[in-house]
């Protein structure tokens, strides 16, 4: 900021916090000189996310102490650091065999982002915006993100899942969508073997490759009710 912008900043602060106002001409001049020296590399506002008035308002609202020029300078440095942390260096257009030109272009792109003249390049940043539309379309066309050959190889290691997928492909309702009344297996879990002993108690907890018939019937009945509704 230059002296004119620094004077505007002090006038704005004086409206929000009269404790910072200097009434004497000499005191006001000294105050501008002091603030301008500390805020020399701090912009008044940038095109992307920084406005010194926002920093001043935040300090006045959050702190009981009068704002100092170092408070603004520290907020600006934190703002720059955050922008650079979110920035991914794009591949320079310079010749990779010219290290000096390559490095100079990287330095210029970072300086532009740090100064707020350009937005950070976050094309590699993880976001919660969902997958791109073209990925959704490709998965829909393929039917699955797992290739058929890989799925066939995995079938012998995942017999329960393979049986579920085969049943769905044949139009048979998925029995694991309901709870088993016989072995009490929860939704999504395989049925368990329950062997009755001579005393009438049930023993054994080994997983079954196929669901109990009663569970299959319950799943079919549930599908029929849905269709009727």
Cα–Cα–Cα angle for 32, 33, 37, nearest 5°? 115
Confidence of residue 202 (pLDDT cuts 50, 70, 90): low
Higher pLDDT, 3 or 155: 3
Task: Count other C-beta atoms under 10 Å from residue 56's C-beta.
Answer: 20
Whole-number CA gyration radius for the chain: 34
Rounded Cα gap, residues 8 and 35, in angstroms: 11
Rounded Cα gap, residues 40 and 173, in angstroms: 71
Reference 181, options 218, 208, 206; nearest CA is 218
Residue 58: per-residue pLDDT: 92
Confidence of residue 44 (pLDDT cuts 50, 70, 90): very high
């Amino acid at each position: 900021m230059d002296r004119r912008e620094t004077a505007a900043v002090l006038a704005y602060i004086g409206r929000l916090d009269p404790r910072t106002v200097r009434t004497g001409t000499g005191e006001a001049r000294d105050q501008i000189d002091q603030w301008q020296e500390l805020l020399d590399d701090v912009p008044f506002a940038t095109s992307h996310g920084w406005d010194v008035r926002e920093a001043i308002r935040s300090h006045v609202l959050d702190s009981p102490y009068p704002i100092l020029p170092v408070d603004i300078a520290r907020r600006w440095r934190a703002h720059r650091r955050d922008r650079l942390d979110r920035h991914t260096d794009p591949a320079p257009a310079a010749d990779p065999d010219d290290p000096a030109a390559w490095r100079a272009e990287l330095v210029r792109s970072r300086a532009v982002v740090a100064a707020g003249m350009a937005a950070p390049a976050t094309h590699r940043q993880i976001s919660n915006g969902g997958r791109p539309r073209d990925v959704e379309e490709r998965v829909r066309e393929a039917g699955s993100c797992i290739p058929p050959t890989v799925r066939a190889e995995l079938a012998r290691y995942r017999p329960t899942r393979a049986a579920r997928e085969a049943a769905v492909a044949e139009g048979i309702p998925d029995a694991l969508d309901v709870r088993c009344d016989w072995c009490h297996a929860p939704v999504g879990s395989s049925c368990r073997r329950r062997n009755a002993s001579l005393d009438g108690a049930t023993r054994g907890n080994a997983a079954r490759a196929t669901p109990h018939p009663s569970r299959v019937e319950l799943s079919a009945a549930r599908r029929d009710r849905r269709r009727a509704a």
